[in-house]
Amino acid sequence: MKNLRILVVLVFLSAVAIGCQPQSNEVQDPFENGNWVDLTHEYSEETLVWPTSDNFALDTLFVGITDGGYYYESFSFRTNEHGGTHLDAPIHFAEGRMSTEELSLDQITGYAAVVDVSENALADRNYQVTVDDILKWESTTGQTVDGKIVLLYTGYSQFWSDAEAYMGTTLKGEEGVAALQFPGIHPELAQWLVDNRTIKAIGLDTPSLDFGRSTDYMAHRILFDKNIPGFENIANLDQILGKNAYIVALPMKIKNGSGAPLRIVAFVRD
């Protein structure tokens, strides 16, 4: 019994000694092993916008040396909610659904399912992404799009500086809208996604979720009715193809907005 008491005391003292060891204050950086990829086109007077929208404009308020003797610059800007790389809030095509500021951070951040549809899209600029495209990605990767941000790579971001190559036309106004040609999401895929999968958001590297020739915008209407936001005019999706990418898509927080300029980035682990 005496030996047992001694053993218990030794175990207790050992536990106390371990507990008294100084703990490391080093915090592991969750973004240490990887790199950030910017998926955003910059805003300028050359930014491509919908044919019926005004171009982005940066107006100079002051640039130079102030009366106080120090350098200072400031600008104001004007832009449409839906020009350049931007967010479409569900209320854009669905009455009573979420506006820009109502979207939760969980909806616009998360792991990506980056689906490569560029072979078909570059061969046919009026291509509409299908259910089979998603099923093929799921079968090939062994993953599901459930719980992810779905990003569709059409390959059209390479044409960003050329309006005719990117949008199918340089015309403006309603004449320009009628002449649009670029890939988008087939309404059957939109309906299948809301019926069979639960996704956070969906985006692509063209001007619209619906293909350019659409006149009823059914992909928008189906997805937005379920409060699934959209990202349009994304850049550099080719840099995250086949990779484990975590998306952060933060729009300007416009109250009651139907959309907003978007800074979207991806963290890709090594």
pLDDT tens for 101-124 read 999 999 999 999 999 999 999 999
Q: What is the pLDDT of residues 128-157, one digit of tens each?
A: 999 999 999 999 999 999 999 999 999 999
pTM metric for this prediction: 0.88
What are 209-262's pLDDT values in tens digits? 999 999 999 999 999 999 999 999 999 999 999 999 999 999 999 999 999 999
> Rounded to an integer, what is the distance from CA 110 to the centroid of its chain?
10
4 pLDDT more than 90: no
Q: What confidence score (pLDDT) does residue 52 get?
A: 96
Q: Out of 24-28, 51-55, 173-177, 178-182, which region has the weakest mean confidence (pLDDT)?
A: 24-28
| pLDDT interval class at 57 (50, 70, 90) | very high
What is the Cα–Cα distance from 95 to 200, expressed in whole angstroms? 19
pLDDT value for 23 = 56
Average pLDDT over residues 183-189: 98
Q: What is the mean pLDDT of the chain?
A: 92
Mean pLDDT of 167-187: 98
For residue 16, what pLDDT is reported?
Answer: 43
Q: What is the pLDDT of residue 150?
A: 98
How much helix, strand and coil, in percent to the nearest 5, is found in the chain?
30, 25, 45
DSSP category for residue 111: E
For residue 167, which of 86, 42, 55, 48 has the smallest C-alpha distance?
48
- H-assigned helices in 1-51: 2-19
Q: Is the confidence at residue 162, as pLDDT, over 60?
A: yes
How confident is the model over 9-56, as pLDDT tens digits? 344 445 444 454 555 566 667 777 899 999 999 999 999 999 999 999
Residues 6 and 215: their CA atoms lie apart, in Å, by: 85
**CA 47 to each of CA 35, 79, 138, 154, 159: distance values in angstroms, whole numbers, following the listed order:** 26, 10, 34, 19, 12
Q: Quick one: pLDDT band at residue 201, thresholds 50, 70, 90?
A: very high
pLDDT at 33: 85
Q: What are phi and psi of 131, to 5 degrees?
A: -60, -40
Which 3 state secondary structure label does DSSP give 109? strand
Task: Give me the pLDDT at residue 122, please.
Answer: 98
Domains defined for the chain, CATH in brackets: 34-40+81-269 (3.50.30.50)
* pLDDT exceeds cutoff 70 at 7: no
With 0-12 / 13-18 / 19 or more C-beta atoms within 10 angstroms meaning exposed / middle / buried, residue 102 is middle
Phi, psi dihedral angles at 251 (to 5 degrees): -85, 160
Q: Can you tell me the distance from the alpha carbon of 224 to that of 127, in angstroms, rounded to the nearest whole number?
A: 21
Residue 270 confidence (pLDDT): 77
Q: Flag whether pLDDT at 1 surpasses 90.
A: no
Rounded distance between C-alpha atoms, residue 263 and residue 85, angstroms: 7
